[in-house]
């Protein structure tokens, strides 16, 4: 079981310092503790690699609250994560400083999205076991799919030590898929697919980083199949905020 170094758990009195990275939806700040960053989930929303942008008021708080609940659940079930505590605002959290691995790892329970486009297959086909695939995280290259052989050929660029680390991320993601399925069922929600990212601590350990939220998952109501995630924004639905609000309400009222 993963255990965090004692000194990084002292969060009292920790101060937010400079903005060190502003992503499409999240801002990352240095803190007065060199081992810890503070991540603020913002209300910014984008799709199509930044082609479509807007602001959804309240999304940052919803996503941070949902992602924090999920990261705690995953940590309780043996997945090492970067989460160390709540941040200085309702939309922020403190995390372990990690070097990000430039891969997005997609877990799928049912076919949807780019998988269906790529292979011209219908949506909703259930996989016998969680299906895991990788994309190379690069805005320049357009986040292309990348297979294991290519990752193995580019280990240095992918910030990986060896091929076993590809297996490890695949193993974690398949396990996360099962845990997320269980987590969301408690709230009457079915998870279709999701994206996770991993980072490396100074001691070499690979841990789950970034966020798991309605921005990074496909989530539908278990009874009605209504979409409750960022697809509402991607597909120009009239109330893109509905998914974030609905999921937050289900979590808070349980
Ligand atoms: P996809 O069907 O577009 O490949 O997306 C699969 C899942 O991964 C879906 O839940 C959305 C999530 N995702 C992200 O969070 N960020 C991304 O950049 C991509 C491509 C997918």
HEC states along 46-75? EECCCCEEEECCCHHHHHHHHHHHHHHHHH
Give the model's pLDDT for residue 169. 98
Separation of CA 108 and ligand 1 centre (Å): 10
For ligand 1, whether the C-beta of 64 sits within 6 Å is: no
Separation of CA 239 and ligand 1 centre (Å): 20
Angstrom distance (rounded) from CA 52 to CA 103:
22
Q: Of ligand 1's atoms, which has the minimum distance to the CA of residue 49? A: 18
Best mutation site among 216, 229, 232 for ligand 1 pocket (most ligand atoms within 8 Å of CB): 216
pLDDT along the chain (254 residues), means of 10: 48 93 97 97 93 97 98 98 97 98 98 98 98 97 97 98 98 98 98 98 98 98 98 97 98 92
Q: Which of 212, 137, 139, 144 is nearest to 181 (CA)?
A: 212
Confirm whether pTM is higher than 0.85. yes
Give the model's pLDDT for residue 151. 98
Angstrom distance (rounded) from CA 214 to CA 171:
23
Give the model's pLDDT for residue 9. 58
């Amino acid at each position: 079981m993963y255990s965090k170094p004692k000194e990084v758990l002292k969060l009292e009195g920790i101060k937010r310092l400079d903005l060190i990275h502003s992503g499409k939806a999240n801002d990352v700040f240095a803190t007065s503790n060199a081992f810890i960053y503070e991540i603020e989930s913002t209300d910014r929303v984008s799709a199509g690699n930044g082609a479509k942008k807007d602001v959804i008021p309240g999304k940052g708080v919803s996503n941070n609250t949902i992602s924090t609940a999920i990261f705690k659940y995953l940590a309780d079930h043996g997945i090492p994560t970067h989460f160390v505590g709540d941040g200085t605002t309702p939309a922020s959290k403190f995390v372990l400083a990690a070097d990000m691995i430039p891969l997005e790892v997609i877990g799928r329970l049912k076919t949807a999205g780019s998988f269906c486009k790529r292979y011209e297959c219908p949506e909703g086909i259930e996989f016998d076991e969680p299906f895991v695939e990788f994309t190379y995280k690069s805005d320049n290259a357009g986040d292309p799919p990348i297979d294991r052989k290519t990752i193995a050929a580019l280990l240095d660029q992918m910030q990986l030590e060896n091929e076993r680390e590809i297996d490890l991320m695949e193993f974690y993601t398949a396990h996360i898929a099962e845990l997320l399925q269980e987590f969301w069922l408690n709230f009457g929600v079915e998870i279709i697919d999701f994206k996770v990212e991993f980072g490396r601590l100074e001691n070499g350990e690979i841990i789950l980083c970034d966020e798991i939220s309605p921005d990074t998952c496909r989530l539908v109501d278990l009874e009605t199949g209504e979409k409750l995630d960022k697809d509402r924004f991607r597909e120009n639905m009239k109330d893109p905020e509905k998914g974030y609000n609905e999921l937050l309400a289900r979590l808070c009222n349980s």
